[in-house]
Structure 1
Amino acid sequence: MRVRALGRAPYEATVARMRAFTETRGADTPDELWLCEHDPVFTLGQAGDAAHVLDAAGVPVVPTNRGGQVTYHGPGQVVAYPLVDLRRLGIYVKEYVFRLEQAVIKTLEAHGVTGQRVAGAPGIYINLADPFGHAALPGPPDPRDPWRGIGKIAALGIKVSRHCTYHGVALNVAMDLAPYGRINPCGYPGLATVDLASLGVSVASDQVADALAQRLQSYLGG
């Protein structure tokens, strides 16, 4: 897997490049992993409901062809885009998503943070009351406030075309989290969004990017 560090990369241009790479790749094209950071942007998934953008406040809102609802990208967030041939790797989409999430969980684990999954809601979450412990996420959920006590630290949205993936995962390191308060993150009203900095973990984004890349390479074929 070739790793490409793109630095600060425009969102729409990066998606166009990923799509072109995927549409023109052949059976022998090496897989790639693109790492970057984006300027502030809200992105809407393929079936995204614009009503989940409560107040864009001048931040661009960009429709895109990944799965999922609305999320935010901005400085201080590590974005990883694996461009992987699933057929060659010998796995299906469900396993691919599991491996992406596992790479994030292991990256967080290196900083003492316990990342967890929520069934039916791709991404990685933490127990706000015990982010460094091993307590399960709060539950059963209260219908009036189903996300009470839960914070999201990594968002996941993918696209698969001809068995090949693009888009990927975004891990919050040290961001301005205020824009998340102007959306229903991933379509979930009341879901808190956190980053490593808000949990008290001080680490450089490039260090997290390197660690996440190593995990993704390990789980996606080296």
Structure 2
Amino acid sequence: MLLPGNIPVVQVDRGGQVTYHGPGQLVAYLMLDVRRLGFGVRDLVTRIENTLIALLADYGVTAAAKADAPGVYVDGAKIASLGLRIRNGCSFHGLALNVDMDLEPFRRINPCGYAGLAMTQLSDQAGQIEFSEVSVRLRAQLVKHLDYAEQATLTGGINQYD
């Protein structure tokens, strides 16, 4: 970590090293019984990355995963991060997609442990979009790529904090 300034720092038990979460970022915590689903760790990571790549393609954004650096990238800049932990056959933590946010705090850290890693966001790649629409599309893509037949949330929706 370099200069967190006034940003609270929280230690967590997941992969991915240091990251930043803030307003305008879509964060999804995936609590899955990966044993029951028959997913290994690499398979789960690939499915999440493919979910994000398909979501971004819906907005006309060409994105890719990197074999040696989990997450999703657009022209070498990271647009989505993954941080997972598997314990007792269940996944914890999840993904963060930069939708429309202030990217400056990423310059105060080494995102995901990579010094100088460029970050980008969906609004810079595809123009202004509705956060709630991205949430709905992400949920549909997760259902598809995780092989679920239907979708439900405890709250009936996905909320953005400001």
* TM score, norm. by length of structure 2: 0.88
Shift in CA distance, 113/159, structure 1 to aligned 2, threshold 3 Å: same
Deviation track 1:46-81 (CA, whole Å, cap 9, x = no partner) reads xxxxxxx21111100111001121010000011111
- The whole-number CA distance in structure 2 between the counterparts of 1:151 and 1:184 is 13
Shift in CA distance, 200/106, structure 1 to aligned 2, threshold 3 Å: closer
- The whole-number CA distance in structure 2 between the counterparts of 1:212 and 1:102 is 11
- The whole-number CA distance in structure 2 between the counterparts of 1:215 and 1:197 is 19
Deviation track 1:82-141 (CA, whole Å, cap 9, x = no partner) reads 1111111112111011000000000000000011111211000011xxxxxxxxxxxxxx
- In structure 1, what residue type is equivalent to 2:120? V
Give RMSD over aligned pairs: 1.0
Q: Is the deviation greater in 62-71 or in 199-208?
A: 199-208
**Alignment pair present for 1:178 and 2:126:** no
* Aligned position for 1:97: 45
Deviation track 1:141-200 (CA, whole Å, cap 9, x = no partner) reads xxxxxxxxx200000010111110010000000001110110111111111101012224
Mark the runs of 5 or more structure 2 residues left unpaired by the alignment: 149-162
Is the contact between residue 111 and residue 201 of structure 1 (CA under 8 Å) also seen in structure 2? Answer: no
| Bigger Rg, structure 1 or 2 | 1
**Alignment pair present for 1:83 and 2:9:** no
Is the contact between residue 27 and residue 96 of structure 2 (CA under 8 Å) also seen in structure 1? Answer: yes
* TM score, norm. by length of structure 1: 0.65
Structure with larger RCO (C-alpha < 8 A, sep 6+): 2
Deviation track 1:7-27 (CA, whole Å, cap 9, x = no partner) reads xxxxxxxxxxxxxxxxxxxxx
- The whole-number CA distance in structure 2 between the counterparts of 1:218 and 1:199 is 24
- Choose which of 22, 27, 33 in structure 2 pairs with 1:74: 22
**Alignment pair present for 1:193 and 2:119:** yes
- In structure 1, what residue type is equivalent to 2:129? V
Q: Is the deviation greater in 198-207 or in 175-184?
A: 198-207
- How many residue pairs end up in the alignment? 148
Q: Is the deviation greater in 97-106 or in 204-213?
A: 204-213
Q: Which has the higher strand share?
A: 1
- The whole-number CA distance in structure 2 between the counterparts of 1:184 and 1:110 is 29
The share of aligned pairs that are identical, in percent, is 47
Q: How does 1:120-131 map to 2 (within 5 A)?
A: 120-127=68-75
